[in-house]
């Protein structure tokens, strides 16, 4: 059976809405968020992380995180796609979107939001995880031949990374 790699990336830290006229969709990254995303991209590049395809939510904080990682790992513009359906998507929506990915790609990265990404991680591993913090990344090896074969428990955790530390399994 062919395996696939799915990397879930939660957007970096974004500014607060408190007292602001900015909509949730348009919240920009904070300076710390930009710093964390660049730092994580440097570590990912050093580790040889280069997915075939990266999808990102169209929310400003997610798209900026994706673009900073893209630049840091040297991923081409053609390999990055903005997917509006990822904005605040929950498990079922994420499973549907990923399940429709082109089977020619074996490594997909998804930049999005909680609680959906953490819930998807739990669902794919069929056990509770520890949650995905801002600018956190979880890499999963999927024991599936086609993206449409996603099901609970089809994933094994390869590593979990957040700006301040990394766990590899």
Confidence band, pLDDT 50/70/90 cuts, at residue 167: very low
Domain ranges of the chain: 4-15+39-168
Pick the CATH number of 4-15+39-168 from 3.40.50.1240, 3.30.70.2740, 3.10.450.40, 3.40.50.720: 3.40.50.1240
Is the per-residue pLDDT at 166 higher than 80? no
Q: What is the pLDDT of residues 111-161, one digit of tens each?
A: 999 999 999 999 999 988 789 999 999 999 999 999 999 999 999 999 998
Residue 137: name the closest of 5, 29, 2, 16 by CA: 5
> What Cα–Cα distance (Å) separates residue 123 from each residue in 15, 80, 152?
29, 25, 5
Confidence of residue 168 (pLDDT cuts 50, 70, 90): very low
Residue 44, pLDDT score: 92
């Amino acid at each position: 059976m062919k395996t696939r790699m799915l990397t879930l990336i939660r957007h970096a830290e974004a500014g607060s809405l408190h007292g602001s006229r900015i909509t949730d969709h348009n919240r920009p990254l904070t300076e710390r968020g930009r710093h964390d995303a660049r730092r994580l991209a440097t570590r990912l590049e050093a580790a040889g992380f280069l997915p075939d395809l990266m999808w990102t939510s169209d929310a400003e904080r997610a798209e900026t995180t994706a673009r900073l990682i893209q630049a840091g790992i040297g991923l081409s513009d053609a390999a990055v796609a903005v997917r509006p359906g990822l904005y605040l998507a929950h498990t079922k929506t994420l499973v549907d979107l990923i399940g429709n990915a082109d089977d020619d790609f074996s490594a997909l990265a998804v930049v999005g939001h909680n609680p959906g990404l953490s819930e998807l991680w739990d669902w794919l591993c069929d056990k509770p995880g520890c949650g995905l913090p801002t600018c956190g990344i979880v890499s999963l090896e999927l024991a599936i031949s086609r993206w449409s074969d996603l099901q609970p428990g089809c994933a094994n955790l390869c590593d979990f990374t957040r700006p301040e530390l990394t766990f590899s399994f």
